[in-house]
Amino acid sequence: MITAGYYIGQLLDDLASIGGQVANRNKVGMTDLTKLLENFYRDIINDIYDHSFRNANEERSNAPGLDLLDDVRGIGIQVTSQGGSAKINETLDVLSGEQLKTYTRIIIMVAGTKQKSYTGLKQEFIDKANFKIDDIWDYTDLCRALVNLPLDKLQGLHQMVSQQVARVKIELEIPNEDGTYASGIEQYAESIPKERISDLKKFTALVHDQTGASDEEVLEFIQTFVSDLKQLPRITREIYEYMWIRRDTKLHNSISSERYKISHPKLERLLERYRNLEGDLRLLSTARLITTYYPSETADGDCFHVLQEGKASGMLDGYGLQFLEKFMTANAIASKKVFVSLDFGDF
């Protein structure tokens, strides 16, 4: 079981790595930050503190000085690569009276590393914005805050950061003298998994006893099923496996067979902190690993997903998943090992 310590460690490493990259860019005079990084910190802060920040730069209608705005709580944040007193003085100086009336708390989010002390801040600017030194943040402040989050929030935050961190790191990379970059997206891209398939004798014996299927037919079923699964991102295979373990007890009666299903409202509730469920469901549907039935198509007005075997759905009389369930249960084989790791070595 993944613990809170694992998620915290991964988050600390990712945030520290990005902070270090920004600091290195500052050393060579590259102090500009992109909207991508502003949105990265927006999402993290919203998750940790349950705030509602939006990016002011997406509207281009706000005065300079503030990048992220929480209109509900009256908080404004500037995201900056520079953590020196001069930069903070400049930020506080340009804030308008209207901004300070609307946003009564100002936070400086230093994407790099903040100073140990701020004796260079001008009192007139501090008084103007009612600014507090403790509201100068860098990644260490975010790290201190996230260690107190409950496990479900840590899991959601880790998932969000993991999805964005590769793109952010590439965005922050310093080019070589010839303008090229040391890394490319392929260094962060997920590789196509390598499946492990046994001689299938034990599984074939089970299927043959009930359908009379030949060795070749069983092998074709497994190879076809695995071929469809391995083309999907790992997280999408995990969604498929999660749908499998949380499936409804009642089977869906199709024309040719009975199939496992899961209610869509139930799935949404179980994975309410997962942000990309709809995208993964589309991938699974395209791969014919699920079929979605909408309220207008069902007798009881329910919306649910029927689990399938991709292009192998018509093989083994349409009962492939049920044979897998019987075999995996009888041999205590974890579904994650099969559907995510594509390990059929015990079959």
CATH classification at residue 236: 1.10.10
Residue 92 near residue 106 (C-beta atoms within 8 A)? yes
**164, 214: one domain:** no
**134, 70: one domain:** yes
Rounded Cα–Cα distance for residues 3 and 154 (Å): 10
pLDDT confidence of 228, banded at 50, 70, 90?
very high
Q: What are phi and psi of 279, to 5 degrees?
A: -65, -40
Task: Return the pLDDT at 174.
Answer: 60
DSSP E strands in the chain: the ranges are: 54-55, 68-70, 75-80, 105-110, 136-137, 196-197, 252-253, 258-259, 261-263, 290-293, 304-307, 343-344
**117, 55: one domain:** yes
Task: Return the pLDDT at 236.
Answer: 94
**337, 242: one domain:** yes
Task: Tell me the one-letter amino acid at 240.
Answer: Y
Which segment, 9-18, 102-111, 174-183, is predicted with the most confidence on average?
Answer: 102-111
* Domain count for the chain: 2
Model confidence over 271-284: pLDDT tens digits? 988 888 999 999 99
**183, 213: one domain:** no
Task: Return the pLDDT at 341.
Answer: 94
Q: Is the dihedral of CA 302, 307, 310, 312 positive or negative?
A: negative
**95, 146: one domain:** yes
Task: Return the pLDDT at 256.
Answer: 64
**Which H or E run contains 264?**
helix 264-270
Task: Return the pLDDT at 83.
Answer: 85
Task: Return the pLDDT at 314.
Answer: 87
What end-to-end distance do the CA atoms of the chain give, in Å? 25
pLDDT confidence of 251, banded at 50, 70, 90?
confident
**165, 279: one domain:** no
Last residue of a domain, one of 140, 162, 187: 187
How many CA atoms, within 13 angstroms, populate the side-chain half-sphere of residue 74? 9
Mean of the per-residue pLDDT values of the chain: 88
Q: What are phi and psi of 132, to 5 degrees?
A: -115, 135
**156, 239: one domain:** no
pLDDT confidence of 49, banded at 50, 70, 90?
very high
Q: Which of 18-27, 70-79, 142-151 has the lowest mean pLDDT?
A: 18-27
Rounded Cα–Cα distance for residues 141 and 133 (Å): 13
**129, 215: one domain:** no
Model confidence over 116-164: pLDDT tens digits? 999 999 999 999 999 999 999 999 999 999 998 998 899 889 988 888 8
Last residue of a domain, one of 163, 187, 211: 187
Task: Return the pLDDT at 166.
Answer: 77
Residue 64 near residue 78 (C-beta atoms within 8 A)? no
Q: Is the dihedral of CA 328, 331, 335, 341 positive or negative?
A: negative
Residue 285, C-beta contacts closer than 8 angstroms, at least 6 positions apart: 291, 292
Which residues form the domain of 227? 196-344
Q: What is the pTM of this model?
A: 0.54
DSSP E strands in 191-329: the ranges are: 196-197, 252-253, 258-259, 261-263, 290-293, 304-307
Q: How many CB atoms lie within 10 A of CB 4?
A: 15
Structure tokens at 256: 């040719």
**275, 181: one domain:** no
Model confidence over 166-210: pLDDT tens digits? 778 777 776 665 555 555 666 667 888 899 999 999 999 999 998
Task: Return the pLDDT at 35.
Answer: 80
Nearest to 259 by CA among 321, 337, 316: 321
Last residue of a domain, one of 165, 187, 209: 187
> Of residues 317 and 71, which shows the higher confidence score?
71
**222, 159: one domain:** no
Q: Which of 49-63, 76-90, 222-236, 327-341 has the lowest mean pLDDT?
A: 49-63
Packed helices 151-172 and 35-49: angle between N→C axes, nearest 10 degrees? 170
**22, 112: one domain:** yes
**pLDDT beyond 50 at 62:** no
